[in-house]
Amino acid sequence: MSKKVYIETYGCQMNVADSEVVVSILAGSGYEPTENINDAGLILINTCSIRDNAEQRIWGRLKAISHLKKRKHDLKIGIIGCMAERLKERLIETDQLVDIVVGPDAYRELPLLVAESEAGHKAVNVLLSREETYADISPVRMDKNGVSSFVSIMRGCNNMCAYCVVPYVRGAERSRNPESILKEVNELIEMGYREVTLLGQNVDSYKWDNNSGIVGFPGLLENVAMLNPLLRVRFSTSHPKDISDDLLYTIAKHGNICKHIHLPAQSGSSRILKLMNREYTREWYIDRINAIHSIIPECALSTDMITGFCTEAQEDHEESLSLMDLAGFDFAYMFKYSERPGTKAAKKYKDDIPENIKSERLSEMISLQSKLSAKSKKNDVGKVFKVLIEGLSKRSKEHLSGRTSQNKVVVFPGGNHKKGEYVKVLIERSTSATLIGNIV
């Protein structure tokens, strides 16, 4: 009987991509993925440390899963990903819930570590690497739609944002060989995929030095886009300090590079940005969005925002709101600041904004963004967009759902069209989250 692994993924898109690498590595030693947790002999939780509530959620889940061991004594449970390094002692020693702990750069060791745990030992490897990019591993695609997929182009991060745990849990930045990236994208095209998202913590600093010179992110993006005009290319995440005009011209030049940039501002106050060690000011950020609008007029913009960072005064908060208003973001992820042990902010500044103020500021931000999102969708009414069909709409079987290049969800009566096809849709109305229209 084949062995079965069940993998549950938390956190960012990078973790989703990593889980696919993990499944591929385990397949090499006879493990087959299952979607039914009760069938599994090995359960892996791919974890996130970005905020305290992400970790709390995983602890809760781990307690629930560990009950399964009562029924199945040989069941092994592993924690992989970002919580591994930070919490290895607690995971293995104090809580006794976990058999295997593996950090994001040690996945190749998984077969060995699983074998070790089957032999009755606790198995741990949380070493970070300066080289590992899993370049040669073909991820096993776990997405359900078969239309869009993630491709990781680099790992780790060298930006020391004061609040952020990523450099500590995922290590230093390293780029992946462009040939292996193009090969992976080609395989996806052959499998029928129509969209890839190139992933990195800071894609603008992608850099590969080979014999014929240096490949930067604009060059890589262009090469991926040129593989097939039917393939849409997205990327995430850009850093405002590094996003270059060169990149913007590359996006403008290719119809199949999506006109959407996720450009996390984090704050609209230059004083807070300095404390956050973001290396740009409010004015710089505004200059970058002006450049985006002038080089790529139809480009959508989204952001991440943090409220209640150390020392944030009411004026700073208002500057965040006014920046959001000025940028007119199409979409935003907004968070309350959560102190992470070991970061610069945790060591140097006091987490001094009371929880109730953080919450108030966050709800103000969320209500502003819902107005901006609704406005951005209203603006699309009456326009025609090329939509890549992703599948049936959640609400009705007669409707299909897909996305515009700007990453907005469109729902429309599908006729005989199928997922993976492109159709032109005239937008007739919008709700807060969706554009609704008809094929023209």
> Could you say whether residue 128 binds ligand SF4 (CB under 6 A)?
no
**Distance in angstroms (rounded) separating the CA atoms of residues 126 and 100:** 10
CB of 18 to ligand SF4, least distance (A): 8
For ligand 5AD, which residue of 242, 304, 364, 421 counts as binding (CB under 6 A)? Answer: 304
Q: Which is nearer to ligand SF4, 164 or 409 (CB)?
A: 164
The helix (run of H) or strand (run of E) holding residue 209 is: strand 207-210
Here's the x/- map for ligand 5AD, 306-325, by CB under 6 A: it reads as x-------------------
Q: Is 14 in the site for ligand SF4 (CB under 6 A)?
A: yes
Q: Does 13 bind ligand 5AD (CB under 6 A)?
A: no
Residue with tokens 């199409």: 330
Q: Which amino acid is at 285?
A: Y
Q: Give the number of other CB atoms < 10 A from CB of residue 272.
A: 22
Q: Give 13 or 407: the residue with its C-beta nearer to ligand SF4.
A: 13
CB of 237 vs ligand SF4, minimal distance in Å: 10
> How distant, in Å, are the alpha carbons of 124, 311, 322, 415 from that of 341?
21, 18, 31, 53
Instruction: Tell me if 50 contacts ligand SF4 by CB under 6 A.
Output: yes
Residue with tokens 């094929």: 439
Smallest Cα–Cα separation from 228: which of 185, 267, 258? 185
Residues 124 and 88: beta-carbon distance below 8 Å: yes
Q: What is the DSSP letter of 95?
A: S
Min dist. Cβ of residue 234 to ligand 5AD (A)? 17
Residue among 272, 254, 255, 260 at smallest CA distance from 308:
272
Report the residue number, 340 or 408, with the smaller CB distance to ligand 5AD.
340
Site for ligand SF4 in 274-333 (CB under 6 A): none
Check residue 388 for interaction with ligand SF4 (CB under 6 A).
no
The answer to the question of residue 11 lying near ligand SF4 (CB under 6 A) is yes
Partner touching 306 among ligand 5AD, ligand SF4, none, CB below 5 to 8 Å by kind: ligand 5AD
Reference 411, options 397, 335, 421, 420; nearest CA is 397
Burial class (CB in 10 A: 0-12, 13-18, 19+), 13: middle
Binding to ligand 5AD (CB under 6 A) within 208-237 occurs at none
Among 75, 164, 181, 301, binds ligand 5AD (CB under 6 A): 164
Q: Which two tokens stand for residue 155?
A: 């790992």
152 binds ligand SF4 (CB under 6 A): no
Q: Which residues bind ligand 5AD (CB under 6 A)?
A: 50-51, 163-164, 264, 266, 304, 306, 335, 337-338, 340
Q: Which residues bind ligand SF4 (CB under 6 A)?
A: 11-12, 14-15, 48-50, 82, 165-166, 169-170
